[in-house]
Amino acid sequence: MTPRLLLRKPMRRDARQFHAWASDPEVARYVFWDPHKTLSQTRSVLRAMLSQNRLRGLSSFAIVRQRDLRMIGTIGLVWRDWQNNSAEAGFSLAKDCWGQGLMTEALTAFLRLMFEEYGINRIEAQHDVRNRASGKVMEKVGMRLEGVLRSRLYYKGEQADVALYAALRDEWLDAQQGKDAPR
Ligand SMILES: CC(C)(COP(=O)(O)OP(=O)(O)OC[C@H]1O[C@@H](n2cnc3c(N)ncnc32)[C@H](O)[C@@H]1OP(=O)(O)O)[C@@H](O)C(=O)NCCC(=O)NCCS
């Protein structure tokens, strides 16, 4: 729970609201998946998320707006490396919800959960350098830029440079405590 959002497990009945934004080419521009073409495609993506959550523990969350309970996005672990206690976070939001600080709110809550409850030590996030809003979110939540990986990815028909961000549990939780402390 954040001031405006609820992070909860995705459910089958999210399919229509999920499809409404996951079918938007602008939302899918800088992510690995293509815009969903049909509602049945969204249903099968949702089924895959649910079964991954069942098999590997809850790691994909629906982002729900509290005021109308609309499912406006997803946030989750792209991978988790148990041996090295690290993971990568990925996130997407409906376009009409951009620019209101919502993903900053969601990612802050998600990092806290992953560090405090899941005990992960290092969480990475990466974005295509052209996806500036995504980098801004990573910065605003206190992740640190570790470098730009040139031509790291090939997706959507072209090579792309990627900015790699990471947060470390102790460092991040300490910094958050500093933010929460009365001034
Ligand atoms: C990236 C994304 C998650 C951002 O979510 P959001 O809720 O709009 O993010 P926030 O409002 O918390 O913060 C966005 C910041 O980027 C800034 N921003 C937006 N567009 C920008 C641009 N083109 N260049 C630079 N900064 C930009 C905003 O001004 C804001 O910063 P501010 O608070 O200092 O003004 C959202 O745009 C999205 O879902 N995009 C499609 C999916 C995606 O790309 N996911 C990430 C894959 S790595």
The model's pLDDT over 6-18, given as tens digits with 9 standing for 90+, comes to 999 999 999 999 9
Is the distance from the beta carbon of residue 156 to the nearest atom of ligand 1 less than 6 Å?
Answer: no
pLDDT of 70 strictly over 90:
yes
What's the CA-to-centroid distance between 74 and ligand 1, angstroms? 14
Residue 180: pLDDT band with limits 50, 70, 90? confident
CB 6 within 8 A of CB 66: yes
Cα 98 to Cα 133: distance, rounded to the nearest angstrom: 9
Is the distance from the beta carbon of residue 108 to the nearest atom of ligand 1 less than 6 Å?
Answer: no
Best of 128, 134, 152, 156 to mutate for ligand 1, by most ligand atoms within 8 A of CB?
Answer: 134
Alpha carbon 113 to its chain's center: 13
DSSP-derived secondary structure letter, 34: P
pTM (2 d.p.) = 0.97
Report the mean per-residue pLDDT for the chain: 96
What's the CA-to-centroid distance between 95 and ligand 1, angstroms? 10
Cα 11 to Cα 90: distance, rounded to the nearest angstrom: 19
Q: Residue type at 110? A: F
The CA–CA distances, whole Å, from 124 to 15, 119, 168 equal 28, 14, 9
Q: What per-residue confidence (pLDDT) applies to 1?
A: 87
> In which region does residue 33 sit, left (phi positive, over 0), alpha (psi from -120 to 50) or beta (all else)?
beta
> How many CB atoms sit inside 10 A of residue 19's CB?
21
In the chain, where are the structural domains located?
5-180
Q: What per-residue confidence (pLDDT) applies to 148?
A: 98
Cα 67 to Cα 63: distance, rounded to the nearest angstrom: 12
Cα 164 to Cα 156: distance, rounded to the nearest angstrom: 19
Is the distance from the beta carbon of residue 166 to the nearest atom of ligand 1 less than 6 Å?
Answer: no
What's the CA-to-centroid distance between 80 and ligand 1, angstroms? 24
Residue 23: pLDDT band with limits 50, 70, 90? very high
Q: What per-residue confidence (pLDDT) applies to 178?
A: 83
| pLDDT single digits (tens) 88-135 | 999 999 999 999 999 999 999 999 999 999 999 999 999 999 999 999
In this prediction, residues 65-82 reach a mean pLDDT of 97
CATH architecture of residue range(s) 5-180: 3-Layer(aba) Sandwich (3.40)
Q: What's the residue count for the chain? A: 183
DSSP-derived secondary structure letter, 122: E
pLDDT of 181 strictly over 80:
no
Q: What percent of the chain has pLDDT over 90?
A: 94
In this prediction, residues 34-43 reach a mean pLDDT of 98
Q: What percent of the chain has pLDDT over 70?
A: 99
Residue 183: pLDDT band with limits 50, 70, 90? low
Tokens of 74: 């997803």
